[in-house]
Chains A and B, each alone.
Chain A
């Protein structure tokens, strides 16, 4: 698998969530994603970028365009050095929140992605990687 391009967006505040959405949209268009595919990955990115701002003290979003044989995909990596998540399974459940949100962010982002990885522990920060492949529902 090849990574054809990589872009890193620093995420510190609410305005950066909008910047992540725009950067992910552009990468998805460049890969030829359909409008629905674009909207799904941009929405997932918006949820995860906001989580970094609200709970992780900010972080980075890395946008990688992937080429795997005939497959084209977009991988997004969200990394923060915040407090981390004590119970990942609980955090993935719809409706669970420690803040004022609706608790749809993590579970929703997972549903909107083809692949979802999460790596987090208390005091260790959080790293979430999501991938969507073009043409896969």
Chain B
């Protein structure tokens, strides 16, 4: 079975889906991402789907589930690069992916995630004792 590579960049994980995934590959990606969020203490996940010319209900659900799981694990997910024809089709299919943050391209997506690094650390907590 094909495995989609996951790259680590600072506190973010980056995935670019370049193949037409069957359901098994999609589930494997979801599991791999969840596992790597924990292992690398990732704060952000960027999923580039610009190469996907079809997102059906299964892949849409995988994206939504991944975002939900990441959220529970204290990481934010951004899906970037959805083709306009895919967006039109997804909405007509009945999937609005409301829980997913999206951006037009990788650059904009990284900008969204970069904000996460600006969260102030609780550095002063010790000084009060």
Contacts and interface: CB of A to CB of B under 8 A. Distances in A.
A104 B97 CA distance: 13
Interface residues of A: mostly helix, strand, loop or mixed?
Answer: helix
Contacts of B53: 25, 38-39, 42
Interface in A75-118: 94, 101-102, 104-105, 107-108, 111-112
Contacts of B58: 46, 50, 101
B22 A15 contact: yes
Would you list the 7 A-B pairs with minimal beta carbon distance, nearest first? A108-B93, A39-B85, A46-B56, A14-B22, A104-B57, A36-B85, A14-B23
30 contacts: A14-B24, A17-B22, A17-B23, A18-B20, A21-B20, A36-B84, A38-B53, A38-B85, A39-B53, A39-B83, A42-B53, A42-B54, A43-B54, A43-B55, A46-B54, A47-B56, A50-B56, A50-B58, A94-B94, A101-B57, A101-B58, A101-B61, A102-B57, A105-B57, A108-B93, A108-B94, A111-B92, A111-B93, A111-B94, A112-B92
B29 to A, nearest CB: 14
A128 to B, nearest CB: 16
A25 B85 CA distance: 13
A113 to B, nearest CB: 10
Interface residues of A, number: 26
A104 B93 contact: yes
Interface in A29-45: 35-36, 38-40, 42-43
Interface of B: 20-24, 53-58, 61, 83-86, 88-89, 92-95
Given A43-B56, A47-B56, A50-B56, A18 B92 contact: no
B22 A104 contact: no
A83 to B, nearest CB: 21
Nearest to A100: B61
A82 B25 CA distance: 25
Contact of A107 (B61, B86, B94): B94
A101 B64 CA distance: 13
